[in-house]
Structure 1
Amino acid sequence: MNSRELHCLALFSKCKSLRTVKQIQALIFKTCLNSYPLVSGKLLLHCAVTLPDSLHYARRLFLDIRNPDVFMYNTLIRGLSDSDTPSNALQLFVEMRRKSVALPDSFSFAFLLKAAANCRALTNGLQLHCLAVGYGLDSHLFVGTTLISMYAECACLVFARKVFDEMIEPNIVAWNAIVAACFRCEGVKDAEQVFRCMPIRNLTSWNIMLAGYTKAGELQLAREVFMKMPLKDDVSWSTMIVGFAHNGNFNDAFAFFREVRREGMRPNEVSLTGVLSACAQAGAFEFGRILHGFVEKSGFLQIISVNNALIDTYSKCGNLDMARLVFDNMLRRSAVSWTAMIAGMAMHGYGEEAIRLFNEMEESNIKPDSITFISILYACSHAGLVDLGCSYFSRMVNTYGIEPVIEHYGCMVDLYGRAGKLQQAYDFVCQMPISPNDIVWRTLLGACSIHGNLYLAGQVKRQLSELDPENSGDHVLLSNIYAVAGKWKDVAALRRSMTHQRLKKTPGWSMIEVNRIIYSFVAGEKQNDIAVEAHQKLREIMSRLRIEGGYVPEVGSVLHDIEVEEKEDSVSQHSEKLAVAFGMAKLPRGRAIRVVKNLRICRDCHTVMKLISKVYEVEIVVRDRSRFHSFTHGSCSCRDYW
């Protein structure tokens, strides 16, 4: 290797951008090194694997190589297998075999099997397995381990076990792969059995068990494994924090984070974003503020993903000003940063502000992606900007070449439905180029409920009965429409149908953070000390609202044909009312009350929140399943459009 080669290869270690790659490439051509396979291979590797967003350039480089060797093919196959279009890796392999310029090796099959796994392409995976046998590479540990992972991704645990059982001397990586495969195919008992049989375990083995248990919702088993671990690392703690948060055990997730700090360990990026995600889901604003302070003191503000998590946390905790402050102070922003801020504004009903930010994003030469357009369509929907929403949908396709997916079509149905354009929404669903799923039809059924369209609701429900007959929420929505119209016989028929099918209504729950502890309330739940205190305070509030606010219960949507007094008692015990009452009893006067609810807020609760904000001069922020409602001085930020 001459000095020119060494110099060029050394330059790649300092190369951090595609612009710099092109400068090195110019030097390579100028010094006639482009015919040297080692230099060309390194250039290709840097674009295909090392640098982000440079795969397209690697493909162009590959086309200019006259006789690519197996390393060059493997390099591009590797990059494609990890891309958004892993099927292209399989197509490149077909080309490689057709030209017969290079024989595949163990790395070829490992990267190709990963591509098949990422595509969930079982047929291609089986073909590759047969080819690996033909080339005598199936017994290679690297290939065998990847085969196990591929079959697991394709939900074929039997094949994965067969590959493992045929290994002569499986190493620790292969043992870990089969344990992960069992969990991937929902074989929790199988994973436990394999784990017990392992001749040796490393830290990765224990972490796989933690991840498998938390993903399966087996939190107690995860906790037991965590306590038995001889050694714990950042991944172990992050898995517990994120796993418990994703399963709705927010207080436990916060407790694990506190334990990390007590152990004297420095939380990493994953654990920080995990606990911030828990704050966002639970609406834990106070805990989120403490984490923000820790992020600033610990120097994590330079990490874009942590800032993005802070934006999401503040947005979902109902403090858009703090979210915007984090966004404005970011030195560098990704497309995710812009999207998170736009989504936050959309959730709070600030459609025009979201649109202005979208325009700024375009002016900053940040290309919006499909998720960005979901957020901007959501913003238009909740602000009633129908024409603008239609315009953005067209721009997404015609200007940015983004193929609409089911979420985009769902946003358009919601856009028309909220605005009362129910027939247009129905026609849009019928004309969709892809088959509408149950979520799209359910969005339209929700719009029928809001606007009381009995006829169209019946048509939509028939479609849903074919797609998802066991969903209790659809029956409840239709019952709600019948109840508002006073059609109690139809309500009774639907309730009998639910009983016959053994369908249960999803219970409404609400959560509130008090002194960094999350309290949950469910209407009609068994009384405990917390619930008793909430009910006592709520009775006091409702009495004052009747006297000073002229409150009259809205009982039209109560789903039972019962006496008015019973209906009033039913709506007065909704979970969001209990959560607000508890907050008013426990929080200092003047502190905003923030509540998270799993269902859409009902009209009576909406009215009560407005009255409380006026009579008690308190700010109430409610995040329901659909959006945010900020109640101040007797009015709501949604302007009664939700």
Structure 2
Amino acid sequence: MKPLFSIVVTGSSTNSARVIRSTSISSSTITTTTTTTAYVLRYYSPTHINSLLNAACETQDIRYATQIHAQIITNNYTSFAFLLNNLLNTYAKCGHLHRTLLTFSHTHNDAKNIITWTSLITQFSRRHKSFQALSLFNQMRTTGILPNHFTFSAILSACAHTSILAHGQQIHSLIHKHGFITDIFVASAIIDMYAKCSNVDSAKTAFDEMPHRNIVSWNAMVVGFSQNKAHEQAIGLFMEVIKDKWVIPDEVSFSSVLSSCADMGCLDLGRQVHTLVVKHGLLLRPYVKNSLVDMYSKSGCFGDAIGLFKTMAATDVVTWNVMAMGWAQNDCFEEACNYFWIMRGEGISPDEASFSTALYASASLAALDQGTAIHDQIVKTGFMGNTCVQSSLITMYAKCGSLFAAHRVFKEIEERNVVCWTAMITAYQQHGRGDQVIELFEEMLAQGIKPDHITFVSVLSACSHTGRVEQGFGYFNSMSFVHGMKPGPEHYACIVDMLGRAGQLNEAKRFIESMPVKPDPSVWGALLGACRNHGDLEMGKQVAETLFEVEPSNPGNYVLLANIYMRHGRLEEANEIRRLMGVNGVRKEPGCSWIEIKNTTYVFKVHDRSHSQTDHIYKMLSKLAELVKEKGYVAEYQYAVNDAEEFKEKSLWYHSEKLALAFGLLTLPMGAPIRIKKNLRTCGDCHTVMKYVSDIFQREIIVRDVNRFHRFVGGFCSCGDYW
């Protein structure tokens, strides 16, 4: 075969050029074994150049793409539209989208046709450069080139990624205008766009108006229902697919309906879908099997999920992520972390979901060393630029008690989205830094970042814990009038809590009565907590009776009412409330505290004597009791609710967090912070003792209870005794 071209190499130390060898070219491959520094292609035919581009596209080698581009320019082939289209596609496939755009912008409009524009729009849409894709679409229309069905499908995908409904609606109108509304692929893209913009009604209308449907359109609608939490509709539509003899469900159909079964907790239906998966021969498809594992995990049958996982011949990162999240969802956080490390040992590279799940598990355990080790892996694998991972890092460090490390991660983020800002705002709120919460929130607004519902929960909670009643109402009202958000139960609960903490109990009650929606238990619970804090027995009884009706199995409501009775010295009524808990089968979760020493976690319960150093721990407690009394400590007997009068003070000293504190003082190096975690709200007496001890021993003590962090330094707590 006669060679089509010669590769000419120019060396770095000489101006002379020599032909290394002639190489025959096919459309499927380019092979050469040179170690040269610069390549120049030399030959003639546009058809041959196109073959070379096809080969460069397949190999995704940017070096070949650029030298072929040089040949196109040298031979003045830039006016050939088919070469331009192929070149743009090749650059994009090689991962050089900026070269694609640069080449396109330097090409005369006469060489650009609908295929050229559509190819470029498609490449930007696929890489989630949605606004650039929309800009290109508008530029194309100004040149007089009319979009076709491929163009509309590509730009609808870009609209879906922006989640801005107005963009999609405008494109929908253009589709009607240009007569492509009956195209089955365009119609399917319309459905997908509306679904991803959370307008499921419009998606269903577009689906109903389709004269013909294929599996793509059915899947778009099933997926749309599932993604928008319209799970009953997703399942119903899937059942229609099953009944339709002309439409065969595929892995997308099954995965979507399994996701709906998982979110609804419909185990029986999930098992039926599992049977259909087997019947249709799709059980070995990784996508479907991962969905089955997820469904069983979320439906309370984690054993079945583990069984499926063990039968999988090949697993990918998604499989491991589903399993790790399954462990985490079942409160097995140590196993979730272990799966991350086992996956790494199997040679599977983690993705952002892997890191986020492992960090979530570490945060739930308050395992700082574990979280730091995962942080190291994030740096090594190049995920530090991922905003989802960065936000998870902020949350992990904050929940492990290291606010400094959380803030350091936040400052290193170059492009912060609302999730990053909210993670840091929430971190400050959990650590009792109300001033920093407000300051950071105002900075976020000044930078044009729109807050979300979670942001407002943290901001309103910060206002509540710092007594900012007027400012809190201002932020609450801005949700509707400035940001176009509808407040949820959690926001109303924050306002009730804010008024209650400020002692405005009657105003809090009137606020509940004026709510446009029915108050849920969190709202009434906030008022009951305020009644406990301010000792309002009459209102407390009324609120507690309401809560006993709406959530009779919540032990916290009984405990709060019993505490109010105790505060008023009405022991018989308090004991009657506890008896009522027994009658109703309601049990209070036993309190426990844990502390980590040299990568080992030690758990303590009240009156715990199971530890090998019990004698030393109790001697330290006796010493602490003497030291704090010298500083003015007075026992707060209302927190020793289950003990006889003569044993109340001694019992207070055997609370789990005090046992953990004593052990920490005995074993941690001098000056090292003492980090204690508790599964319940820390008691007031323990809170007082922690303040004294932090001053006496000049130690930083960080206590994470079920609600927030308390950082004790020099006799003061970060919560300002307002928790």
Give CA deviations for 1:118-176 in whole Å, capped at 9, x if unaligned.
Answer: 4555774587468758975455546963785487366666666667767995121xx4x
Distance 1:138 1:344 in 2: 50
Q: In the alignment, what sits opposite 1:405?
A: 488
Residues 522-545 of structure 1: CA distance to partner in whole angstroms, max 9, x if unpaired? 2245x4335736743543443443
Distance 1:90 1:495 in 2: 53
**Residue in 2 that maps onto 1:5:** 114
Name the structure, 1 or 2, with higher relative contact order (CA <8 Å, separation 6+): 1
Provide the secondary structure at the position in 2 that maps to 1:556: helix
Match of 2:722, SS state, is coil
- Cα deviation 1:301-348 (Å, max 9, x = unaligned): 111111111111121222222211111111111100001111111112
Q: Aligned with 2:639: secondary structure?
A: coil
For the pair 1:539 / 2:641, whether they are aligned, the reply is no
Q: Is the 8 A contact 2:531 2:537 kept in 1?
A: yes
Residues 44 and 143 (structure 1), Cα distance of their counterparts in 2 relative to 1, 3 Å cut:
closer
Tell me which amino acid in the other structure corresponds to 1:587. L
The residue aligned with 1:583 is: 664
Q: Which residue of 2 aligns with 1:366?
A: 449
What secondary structure, in the 3-state scheme, does the structure 2 residue paired with 1:302 have?
coil
1:574 and 2:683 correspond: no
What is the one-letter code of the residue matched to 2:526? T
Task: Name the amino acid aligned to 2:281.
Answer: N
**Which has more radius of gyration?**
2
Where 1:365 maps in the other structure, the secondary structure is coil
Change in Cα spacing, 1:305 to 1:130, as seen in structure 2 (3 Å) is: closer
The answer as to 2:189 corresponding to 1:75 is yes
Aligned-residue offset at 1:628: 1.6
Q: Give 1:595's aligned amino acid.
A: I
User: What residue is the counterpart of 2:681 in the other structure?
Assistant: 600
- Spell out the pairing of 1:120-269 with structure 2 (5 A cutoff): 121=230, 124=233, 128=237, 136-137=245-246, 139-141=248-250, 145=254, 148-149=257-258, 152=261, 169-172=279-282, 175=283, 201=284, 203=286, 207-208=290-291, 210-212=293-295, 214-215=297-298, 230-263=313-346, 265-269=348-352
Q: C-alpha displacement at 1:54, in angstroms? A: 4.5
- Equivalent position of 2:142 in the other structure: 30
CA contact (8 A) 2:254 2:288 kept: no
1:283/1:316 contact within 8 Å kept: yes
Q: Which moved more, 1:327-336 or 1:57-66?
A: 57-66
Give the AA of the match of 1:64: L
User: Could you tell me how far apart the structure 2 residues matched to 1:278 and 1:163 are?
Assistant: 30
Please identify, of 380-389 and 282-291, the stretch whose mean Cα deviation from structure 2 is larger.
282-291
**2:155 matched to 1:64?**
no
Hey, what's the Cα distance between the residues in 1 that align with 2:133 and 2:287?
A: 36
Partner of 1:111: 220
Distance 1:529 1:228, change over 3 A: farther
Seen in structure 2, the aligned counterparts of structure 1 residues 433 and 278 have a Cα distance that, compared at 3 Å, is same
Q: How many residues align?
A: 606
Is 1:351–1:380's contact at 8 Å kept on the other side of the alignment? yes
Among candidates 291, 294, 297, match of residue 377 of structure 2:
294
Check the 8 A contact 1:534/1:579 in 2, yes or no.
no
Q: Distance in 1 between matches of 2:407 and 2:541?
A: 43
Contact 2:701/2:713 (<8 A) preserved: yes
Give the deviation of 1:507 after TM superposition: 1.3
**Alignment-derived partner of residue 193 in structure 1:** none
% identical aligned pairs = 34
Provide the C-alpha distance between the structure 2 equivalents of 1:635 and 1:11, rounded to a whole number of angstroms.
61
Q: 1:324 aligns with which of 407, 413, 435?
A: 407
Residue in structure 2 matched with residue 459 of structure 1 by the alignment: 542
Q: Which amino acid is 2:424 matched to?
A: M
8 Å CA contact 1:238–1:271 kept in 2: the answer is yes
Contact 1:149 1:160 survives alignment (8 Å): yes
8 Å CA contact 1:214–1:222 kept in 2: the answer is yes
SS at 2:480 equivalent: helix
Aligned CA distance change for structure 1 residues 523 and 242 (closer, same or farther; 3 Å): farther
Instruction: Choose from 146, 152, 174 the match for 1:40.
Output: 152
One-letter code aligned to 2:684: R
Is 2:640 aligned against 1:558?
yes
Q: How far apart are the structure 2 equivalents of 1:39 and 1:86?
A: 23
Classify the secondary structure of the residue corresponding to 2:603. strand
Q: How far 1:407 sits from its partner (Å)?
A: 1.3
Contact 1:483 1:560 in 2 (8 A): no
In the alignment, structure 1 residue 336 sits paired with structure 2 residue 419: yes
Tell me the residue number matched to 1:615. Answer: 696
Superposed CA deviations along residues 593-636 of structure 1, whole A, max 9, x for unmatched, are 11222221111001110111111111101122222211111111
Distance in 2, matches of 1:131 and 1:275, equals 39
Match for 1:521 among 598, 604, 618?
Answer: 604
Contact 1:148 1:164 in 2 (8 A): no
Equivalent position SS for 2:448 = coil
The question of 1:276 aligning with 2:359 is answered yes
Q: 1:426 to 1:597 in 2, by over 3 A?
A: same
Match of residue 721 from structure 2? 640
Larger mean Cα displacement after TM superposition, 611-620 or 540-549: 540-549
Alignment deviations for residues 5-52 of structure 1 (CA, whole Å, 9 cap, x no partner): 22112212145534422431233213433253332332223322xx34
Change (3 A) 1:517 1:231: farther
Q: Determine the structure 1 residue equivalent to 2:163.
A: 53
Deviates more, 1:351-360 or 1:243-252: 243-252
SS in 1 for 2:168: helix
Determine if contact 2:124/2:133 at 8 Å carries over to the other structure: no
Structure 1: distance between partners of 2:722 and 2:572: 30
Relative distance call for 1:456 and 1:73 in structure 2 (3 A) is same
Asked if structure 2 preserves the Cα contact closer than 8 Å seen for 1:537 and 1:585, the reply is no
Shift of 1:239: 3.6
Task: Tell me if structure 2 keeps the 8 A contact 1:113–1:150.
Answer: no
Which amino acid is 2:707 matched to? S
Give the conservation status (yes or no) of the 8 Å contact 1:509–1:520: yes
- Where 2:384 maps in the other structure, the secondary structure is helix
Structure 1 residues 274-283 or 125-134, which shifts more?
125-134
Separation of aligned partners in 1, 2:629 and 2:157: 75
1:187 alignment counterpart: none
The amino acid of 1:367's aligned partner reads K
Give the equivalent residue in structure 2 for 1:477.
560
Q: TM-score, normalised by structure 2?
A: 0.77
C-alpha spacing 1:24/1:511, structure 2 compared with 1 (3 Å): same
